[in-house]
Amino acid sequence: MSDPAIEIPPGTEIDDETGCPKSVLGKTQLLLAAFGAGAIRLGLTELSQRSGVSKATCYRLAQELVHWGLLERVGSSYQLGLRVFELGQRVPASAILRRVSRPALVDLYAATRATVHLVVPDGTHVMFLEKIAGAADVLTYSEVGARLPASCSASGKLFLALRPDAPKAFAAFDRQGLVRPTTRSVATVEALRAQLLDVRQHGYAVELEEMLVGYSTLAVPLVDPYGMVYASVSVTLPTNRLIIGRLLPQMRAATAFISRAVDACVARLPGVAA
């Protein structure tokens, strides 16, 4: 598999010769998952390389996905279709979280002029559910729906430090090593574990130019009534403007508002006891 962000679920029946799932549905999932961070349009060769699906099978499945609106053909390349966006908007958890979070995220952007993100865990990666930024935004890696390695992102460090499923991610890191987008990205699993001790102690996470030179990020958790961290709010700024003591009170006010709003929405769902 060329793209380490594409994870095959345990128990999937794998073709020994190709290393891909044997089922058509499994191969289709790999094609869709190939459109990761920054991969807006992919030619057939790159789509095949990123997904690990053979070029002939990739072409056949891509044509079928175009027919169903899950992919769109743009010249000689493919991009995700509007049908994918439409289905994504119907996912109950993400739809509720985005809707109730947006007012607080907009207020946080107005107060800080930082690029503001709403982020959720996704195995060894994190995924952006929402992004609020100005016209001068240069953070192309953090578009809505994009995924980043957990090890070198502030929200990822937060999830690795505070969520109970972190050991599964560390097992993958031990097998595959760590992705390093910049020379400042954490280099070893041991160094990452040391960073996470600070995260647990302080209750927030920072990455200093580990994703993009000149920019750093601060992340604060969203926690449910049972103490589970289910998402984070992060702000990204030029490193010389990331003043933690000034930003933390504003971010914690935003996460407190979002947590109350999410709890209120969940309480109104059918079958949820008051």
pLDDT at 29: 86
Indicate whether this model's pTM tops 0.85: no
- List per-residue pLDDT tens for the chain, 274 residues long: 445 455 666 666 776 666 667 788 888 888 888 886 556 789 999 999 888 889 999 999 999 999 988 898 888 899 888 777 667 656 556 778 888 899 999 999 999 999 999 999 988 999 898 999 987 777 767 888 888 999 999 999 999 999 988 998 999 899 889 999 999 999 999 999 999 999 999 999 999 999 999 999 999 999 988 888 999 999 999 999 999 999 999 999 999 999 998 888 766 655 544 4
Concatenate the DSSP letters of all residues of 140-177 into one string: GGG-TT-EEEGGGSHHHHHHHHH-TTHHHHHHHHHHH-
Neighbouring CB atoms inside 10 A of 46's CB total 16
pLDDT at 23: 85
Helix, strand or coil, per DSSP, at residue 208: strand
Q: Do the beta carbons of residue 211 and residue 152 sit within 8 Å?
A: yes
- All structural domains of the chain: 24-86 (1.10.10.10), 91-267 (3.30.450.40)
pLDDT at 262: 85
Neighbouring CB atoms inside 10 A of 229's CB total 17
pLDDT at 227: 87
pLDDT at 103: 95
DSSP 8-state class, residue 21? B
pLDDT at 224: 86
Closest CA to 43 of 75, 70, 18, 2: 75
pLDDT at 27: 87
CA–CA gap between residue 81 and residue 101 (Å, rounded): 26
pLDDT at 2: 44
